[in-house]
Amino acid sequence: MAVDPKLDLPDITDIHLARARIQHQVKPTPVLSDPDLDDWAGCKLSLKCENFQRTGSFKFRGASNAIIRLDEDLDDGAPKQAVATHSSGNHGAALALAARISGREAHIVMPDDSVATKVAAVKRFGGTVHFCKPTHESREAGLATLVDQGMTAIHPYDRAEIIAGQGSCALELLGEKPGLDLLLAPVGGGGLISGCALAAQAQGVSVIGAEPEGAADTHASLEQGHRVDHWTPNTIADGLRAIVGERNFLLISKLVSQVVLVGEDEIRAAQAAAWRYLRMVVEPSSATVLAAVKRYPEVFSGHRVGAIISGGNVLLGDWCKTVDS
Amino acid sequence: MAVDPKLDLPDITDIHLARARIQHQVKPTPVLSDPDLDDWAGCKLSLKCENFQRTGSFKFRGASNAIIRLDEDLDDGAPKQAVATHSSGNHGAALALAARISGREAHIVMPDDSVATKVAAVKRFGGTVHFCKPTHESREAGLATLVDQGMTAIHPYDRAEIIAGQGSCALELLGEKPGLDLLLAPVGGGGLISGCALAAQAQGVSVIGAEPEGAADTHASLEQGHRVDHWTPNTIADGLRAIVGERNFLLISKLVSQVVLVGEDEIRAAQAAAWRYLRMVVEPSSATVLAAVKRYPEVFSGHRVGAIISGGNVLLGDWCKTVDS
């Protein structure tokens, strides 16, 4: 999935258009809060719960926007091409469902060590799984083969339509909760936070990212002033292991005020807090935002913080062990 | 907890007053739905998610209403008496938190086979736990001792303020989702469904109850035309093991069109569906409503059904085993 050198970037208009384009198939997820959670966190949290989005994560927004855009660009009577991507998890399931709704085939290249439940999810939403070796090269090669067969590749985050789709959840949050001081989102490949930052900037709300210490490529990129494109991730936050994308890093550099780092134990404690105070299952990637407000009172204390809970797709055995204490 | 022979019954005005009285401390829970869940269920479901209520169940509504009413009736300068109840779970935690907010002590008599998480919850919200044997007689005796010490007993369901408080969740649901054909709620002691039925009747919406086959005392009571006051429950739906209350049965007889029965395997399948389609943890008692729409297409098929998801307090090990398939 090489990135086009022209680097088409979305703007706030694209976010509004994406929201209108996808709203018939994307769920308006709830914004939840809890006074006991606020006591724990030391700030006033409004959680945009994309864990209740279809396919269990925000990824369905971007995938829906990308596929509907393809449909809009089709000539009359032209056949709907199959779409393809490589993904170890949420983007694959999201693309499979968005394709199914459109009447397209979806082919997902997945590492052969992928979590069984995520493979099952892709299949449940109608996607065809192609296993590959768990290396970047094998994933790219598997996808290239599918593209050679005439399929359209949909990058998980480094694509304008994907970024615009993800940003729609911040539009909903900011509309429902005016007066937020800060918007906080997890940082992996950067699709979610770059879209959210476009939405927040337009309303004068500062944006902060939360990234695991074991996958701190965006934090390092900001420190070094250029995109770090090699990093060996080591974190339980499986949704945040990707390297930040080119379009994503450009937008983050311009629009995000800082990216803060959280540790693995802090992520686990935050998953437990989400269960204890909200009776909610959040995946490790989502828990980074709760870990961040807890770790950095000098940044968040006393503020009204809107935070994106990005997904709820966990390996249940691991999750139970983490929160049941 | 003998019931006063006068049997003061709440009416729709009491539900509106309760809603206004408790709204500063009760959360406005979200109403969620999902197209894939609807396909599974065969009807259009709007789920009022009281599993996200404070203390993890709707019980906090009734407990808040009862305690604030006590506070309103206090003479100037009079001390706030401790409150007491017997509960195997959710009512105990709810009373503990409502009492803590009011500045009262709460003492909860709990069977010594109560779910460990529910005991921990009562303690976390500041309640004092008194264990008893898991029999009706032992629970009553334990509570009588506390009342003799000067505490005020708050019955979990057979009390006007409790019924009125629980009904507030149906008011919220009906306000947010006008045009429902049916309202569906679990039936245990009957506090939730009798309050909801008052709210629904006022808007011309039919009410149906869901009860486990292993705790079918209300179903039997309706068939026999009088309240069955002995039943040995045998169901995983721990929140529905109570015998229907006197006030509750009077209201149910008058306002509820039918109570349908569901089996244990159907309850487990419904918990799994709630996880698969909604990424939500629902306790067995709550799953009865999903089990009901699945089992009785002749009643629910094609209808717009508002259903109360009553709570999310599960024993995690059991829940994981149930849904992880």
> What residue spans in chain A does CATH classification 3.40.50.1100 cover?
12-56+159-323, 60-153
Residues of B tagged active-site: 59, 88
Work out the percent of chain A whose per-residue pLDDT is above 90. Answer: 88
Instruction: Looking at A209-256, list the stretches that DSSP marks H as alpha helix, in order from N- to C-terminal side.
Output: 217-224, 246-255
Give the end-to-end CA distance of chain A in Å, rounded to a whole number. Answer: 42
- pTM for this entry: 0.95
Report CB contact under 8 Å: A317, B320.
Answer: yes
Cα separations (Å) of B298 from A108, B33, B303?
40, 21, 10
Query: Minimal Cα–Cα distance from A309 to chain B, Å?
Result: 13
The chain A residue lying nearest B313, using CA atoms, is A279
pLDDT score at A227: 96
Q: What mean pLDDT comes out for the span A89-111?
A: 96
Kind of pairing between the strands at B44-49 and B304-309: parallel
* Cα–chain center distance at B30: 17
The chain A residue lying nearest B24, using CA atoms, is A35
Q: Which two tokens stand for residue B297?
A: 């297409």
Cβ burial, residue A137 (10 Å; 0-12/13-18/19+): exposed
pLDDT score at A18: 98
Three-state secondary-structure class, residue A306: strand
Cα–Cα distance measured from residue A271 to residue A127, given in angstroms and rounded to the nearest whole number = 29
**Where is A39: in which H helix or E strand?**
helix A35-41
Top pLDDT among A139 and A215 is at A215
Residues 6+ apart with CB under 8 A from B49: B29, B30, B31, B32, B280, B309
Instruction: Looking at A74-205, list the stretches that DSSP marks H as alpha helix, in order from N- to C-terminal side.
Output: 90-102, 116-124, 136-148, 160-176, 191-201
Residue A116 has pLDDT above 90, yes or no: no
Give A157's DSSP letter: S
CB burial of B209-231 (b: ≥16 within 10 Å; e: otherwise) equals bbbbebbbbbbbbbeeeebbeeb
The chain B residue lying nearest A311, using CA atoms, is B279
Give A218's DSSP letter: H
User: Is A88 annotated in the active site?
Assistant: yes
pLDDT score at A325: 63
Q: Angle, nearest 10°, between helix axes B284-295 and B264-278?
A: 100
Cα–Cα distance measured from residue B88 to residue B92, given in angstroms and rounded to the nearest whole number = 7
pLDDT score at A287: 98
Query: Minimal Cα–Cα distance from A325 to chain B, Å?
Result: 10
Cβ contacts below 8 Å, chain A against chain B, sum to 46
Report CB contact under 8 Å: A35, B54.
Answer: yes
Nearest to B279 among A32, A312, A324 (CB): A312
Cα–Cα distance measured from residue A301 to residue B219, given in angstroms and rounded to the nearest whole number = 52
Cα–Cα distance measured from residue A92 to residue A225, given in angstroms and rounded to the nearest whole number = 31
**Where is B83: in which H helix or E strand?**
strand B83-86
pLDDT score at A118: 85
Report CB contact under 8 Å: B279, A281.
Answer: yes
Q: How confident is the model at residue A88 (pLDDT cuts 50, 70, 90)?
A: confident
Q: What mean pLDDT comes out for the span A120-132?
A: 95
The ranges of chain B with pLDDT < 70 are 1-5, 325
The CATH T-level fold of domain B12-57+159-323 is: Rossmann fold (3.40.50)
Q: A297, A246, A287: which is closest to A264 by C-alpha?
A: A287
Query: Minimal Cα–Cα distance from B116 to chain A, Å?
Result: 11
Nearest to B51 among A279, A312, A317 (CB): A279
Query: Minimal Cα–Cα distance from B32 to chain A, Å?
Result: 8
Place of tokens 């006007």: B160
**What would the pLDDT profile of A226-245 be if each residue is shown by its tens digit?**
999 889 999 999 889 989 99
Give the end-to-end CA distance of chain B in Å, rounded to a whole number. Answer: 42
Q: How confident is the model at residue A114 (pLDDT cuts 50, 70, 90)?
A: confident
pLDDT score at A136: 77
> What residue spans in chain B does CATH classification 3.40.50.1100 cover?
12-57+159-323, 60-153
pLDDT score at B324: 85
CATH code of A12-56+159-323, in short, is 3.40.50.1100
By a Cβ cutoff of 8 Å, what residues of chain B touch chain A?
27, 30, 32-36, 51-52, 54, 56, 278-281, 312-313, 316-317, 320, 323-324
Report CB contact under 8 Å: B54, A34.
Answer: yes
Q: Chain A partners of B279 at a C-beta cutoff of 8 Å?
A: 51-52, 56, 281, 312-313
- Count of alpha carbons within 13 Å of A187, Cβ hemisphere only? 35
pLDDT score at B1: 52
A186 contacts A210 by C-beta, under 8 angstroms:
yes
Q: Which of B22, B279, B280, B313 to mutate to test the interface with A (most CBs of A within 10 A)?
A: B279
| Candidate list A59, A64, A285, A310, residue with the active-site label | A59
**Long-range own/partner contacts, residues A133-139 (CB < 8 A, 24 or more apart):** A135/A111, A138/A111, A139/A86, A139/A109, A139/A111
pLDDT score at B184: 98
Residues 6+ apart with CB under 8 A from B6: none
pLDDT score at B2: 54
Q: B12, B2, B4: which is closest to B200 by C-alpha?
A: B12
Domain at A60-153, CATH from 3.40.50.300, 3.40.50.1370, 3.30.465.10, 3.40.50.1100: 3.40.50.1100
A93 contacts A85 by C-beta, under 8 angstroms:
no
pLDDT score at A5: 56
* Predicted ipTM of the assembly: 0.94
**What would the pLDDT profile of A56-87 be if each residue is shown by its tens digit?**
999 999 999 999 999 999 998 899 999 999 98
Most confident listed range (A38-42, A316-320, B236-240): A38-42
Query: What amino acid occupies position A20?
Result: A
